[in-house]
């Protein structure tokens, strides 16, 4: 350990929960317990993110049993509560006063790029006032869109849900024929939508047959043509669409096809989740096109919006949970080590085959407020599907998969 900074530690969670954000902060707590009690006097949880600091609402995490912490680390959403509150300069000064009042010297925030930006601003305010503080960010987001990261804590479990949902929905669609369209989370990055293809199997007609991500401009006209081609070939089509798809002019397709007013959060993000409008609107377009052009008389078409289940479903990716514990633990160890006073703990890929991750400290400012996108080599040339490289990249992240079997339909009984 470097210089012995004596004081209390707080950990909080910020933004949209994931299935393993509890594992991240439990990892921090477990990593901090290595420090002698005369260095680290208290390990506290701030309730509802930075609001807990502003309101001086802290829960004593050393007072929780290991049994409780272990169970919480297997539980989706955040037991510490969360907020989307983006602190302004006045908030930062208030928080600094609270840090001083309680001698809080170690701060850990689990969140996405909005959170890392907030932490960076609070950290700058502390530095400017000469207050000695360790400030570490623990990567978290189902969107997988943080710079410097191969992938983020929470992505694996959300991707597991999406992959298994599409595996089941594809078989359901195959049993009936027709169209199934699923809308996935992902405002600016298509990682989660792309996960729809992770369990696509070897059989030629296996879906999803089309995958639309926000990294490529979406054209309703091209979309209905793409679906028409798949439908003509297989008598069915399974389609994954990101909630964040936009046209060439960067108008959200939901806005283009919907007459309703859209809600925005305090970061100025328009609400895309928690409404089934995009799926319904796209299904309507498909009916109009395929029925209108006489390709099918009455189209069986269904649209699902996966919504909040993607980030909160109880069936975690074991790989994701393990890594979340590791990232939290690494943040704690880095803070105690003291070589760096701040940073973000990123997950990087140490080896692709076999898959191995490493957990590295990167500067806060390298992550803060930036968005990472799907690499070009993960998207096919037509911009309507993912590549084999994406599958190879994503498959290790979603944990062990339920068995899937398919009949050999070539074993036909001869017609009389």
Q: Which of residues 375-404 bind its own copies (CB under 8 A)?
A: 401-404
Binder among 9, 32, 40, 80 for its own copies (CB under 8 A)? 80
Residues 3-32 that bind its own copies (CB under 8 A): 13, 17, 19, 22
Cα separation, 134 vs 91, in Å, equals 18
The nearest distance, CB 285 to its own copies, in angstroms, is 14
Residues 84-143 that bind its own copies (CB under 8 A): 84, 101-102
- Is 45 a binding residue for its own copies by CB under 8 A? The answer is yes
- Is 73 a binding residue for its own copies by CB under 8 A? The answer is yes
The window from 74-82, 131-139, 188-196, 376-384 that contacts its own copies (CB under 8 A) reads 74-82
Helix (H) or strand (E) holding 358: strand 356-362
Buried b / exposed e across 153-180, counting CB within 10 Å, b at 16+? bbbbbbbbbbbbbbbebbeebbeeebbb
Q: CA separation (Å) from 360 to 109, 149, 254? A: 16, 9, 38
Scan for tokens 């195959």, then name that residue.
174
* 276 vs 338, beta carbon nearer its own copies: 276
Indicate left, alpha or beta for 274 from its phi (over 0: left) and psi (-120 to 50: alpha). Answer: left
Tokens at 200, concatenated = 């696509």
Binder among 58, 106, 155, 359 for its own copies (CB under 8 A)? 58
- Is 155 a binding residue for its own copies by CB under 8 A? The answer is no
* 161 vs 378, beta carbon nearer its own copies: 161
The nearest distance, CB 393 to its own copies, in angstroms, is 21
**Alpha-helical runs (H) found in 268-387:** 277-292, 309-312, 318-337, 364-367
The nearest distance, CB 62 to its own copies, in angstroms, is 9
Give the phi and the psi of residue 262 in degrees, each rounded to 5.
-110, 145
* 161 vs 212, beta carbon nearer its own copies: 161
Measured in residues, the chain has a length of 416
Binder among 205, 220, 228, 307 for its own copies (CB under 8 A)? 307
Answer for the pair 139, 357: CB distance below 8 angstroms, yes or no. no
Give the phi and the psi of residue 95 in degrees, each rounded to 5.
-65, -40
Q: Which pairs with CB-CB distance under 8 Å and at least 24 residues apart come from 57-61? A: 58/10, 58/102, 61/11, 61/29
Per annotation, catalytic residue among 51, 91, 143, 170:
143
Binder among 4, 34, 36, 315 for its own copies (CB under 8 A)? 315
Any catalytic annotation for residue 226? no
Binder among 6, 72, 220, 391 for its own copies (CB under 8 A)? 72
Residues 342-381 that bind its own copies (CB under 8 A): none
- Of 150, 165, 70, 154, the residue nearest 115 (C-alpha): 154
How is the beta sheet containing 301-305 ordered, strand by strand?
A: 210-212, 236-242, 178-184, 301-305
Neighbours of 50 (CB within 10 A): 27
* 265 vs 388, beta carbon nearer its own copies: 265
Give the phi and the psi of residue 178 in degrees, each rounded to 5.
95, -160
* 287 vs 370, beta carbon nearer its own copies: 287
- Is 340 a binding residue for its own copies by CB under 8 A? The answer is no
The window from 242-250, 275-283, 348-356, 389-397 that contacts its own copies (CB under 8 A) reads 275-283
Residues 242-271 that bind its own copies (CB under 8 A): none
The window from 142-150, 272-280, 317-325, 371-379 that contacts its own copies (CB under 8 A) reads 272-280
- Is 176 a binding residue for its own copies by CB under 8 A? The answer is yes
* 53 vs 346, beta carbon nearer its own copies: 53
Local structure of 105: helix, strand or coil:
strand
Binder among 142, 283, 346, 398 for its own copies (CB under 8 A)? 283
Cα separation, 57 vs 150, in Å, equals 34
* 328 vs 343, beta carbon nearer its own copies: 328
- Is 235 a binding residue for its own copies by CB under 8 A? The answer is no
Number of amino acids touching its own copies (CB under 8 A): 83
The nearest distance, CB 42 to its own copies, in angstroms, is 7
Residues 179-218 that bind its own copies (CB under 8 A): 180
Answer for the pair 10, 29: CB distance below 8 angstroms, yes or no. no
Extract the runs of DSSP E, i.e. beta strands, from 14-155. 40-46, 58-60, 104-111, 134-139
**Residues carrying an active site annotation:** 143
């Amino acid at each position: 350990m470097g210089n012995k900074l004596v004081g209390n530690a707080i950990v909080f969670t910020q933004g949209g929960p994931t299935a393993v954000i509890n594992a991240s902060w439990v990892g921090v707590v477990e990593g901090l317990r290595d420090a002698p009690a005369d260095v680290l006097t208290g390990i506290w949880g701030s309730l509802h993110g930075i609001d807990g600091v502003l309101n001086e609402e802290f829960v004593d995490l050393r007072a929780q049993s290991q049994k409780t912490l272990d169970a919480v680390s297997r539980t989706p959403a955040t037991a510490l509560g969360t907020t989307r509150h983006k602190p302004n300069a006045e908030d930062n000064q208030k928080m600094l006063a609270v840090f001083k009042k309680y001698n809080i010297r170690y701060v850990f925030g689990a969140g996405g790029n909005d959170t890392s930006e907030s932490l960076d601003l609070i950290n700058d305010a502390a530095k400017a006032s000469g207050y000695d503080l360790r400030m570490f960010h623990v990567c978290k987001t189902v969107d997988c869109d943080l710079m410097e990261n191969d992938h983020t804590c929470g992505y694996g479990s959300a991707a597991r849900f999406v992959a298994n949902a599409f595996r089941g929905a594809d078989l359901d669609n195959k049993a009936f024929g027709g169209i199934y369209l699923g809308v996935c989370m992902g405002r600016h990055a298509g990682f989660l939508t792309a996960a729809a293809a992770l369990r696509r199997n070897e059989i030629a007609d296996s879906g999803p047959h089309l995958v639309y991500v926000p990294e490529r401009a979406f054209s309703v006209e091209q979309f209905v043509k793409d679906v028409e081609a798949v439908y003509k070939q297989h008598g069915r089509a399974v389609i994954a669409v990101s909630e964040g798809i936009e046209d060439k002019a960067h108008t959200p397709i939901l806005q283009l096809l919907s007459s309703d007013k859209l809600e925005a959060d305090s970061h100025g993000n328009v609400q895309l989740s928690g409404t089934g409008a995009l799926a319904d609107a796209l299904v309507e377009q498909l009916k109009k096109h395929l029925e209108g052009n006489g390709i099918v008389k009455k189209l069986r078409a269904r649209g699902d919006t996966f919504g909040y289940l993607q980030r909160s479903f109880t069936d975690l990716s074991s790989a994701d949970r393990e890594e979340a514990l590791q990232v939290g633990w690494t943040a704690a160890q880095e803070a105690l080590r003291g070589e760096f006073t701040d940073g973000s703990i990123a997950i990087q890929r140490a080896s692709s085959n076999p898959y191995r991750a490493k957990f590295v400290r990167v500067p806060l400012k390298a992550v803060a407020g930036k968005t990472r996108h799907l690499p070009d080599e993960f998207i096919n040339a037509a911009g309507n599907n993912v590549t084999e490289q994406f599958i190879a990249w994503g498959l290790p992240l979603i944990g062990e998969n339920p068995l899937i079997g398919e009949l050999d339909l070539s074993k036909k009984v001869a017609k009389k």
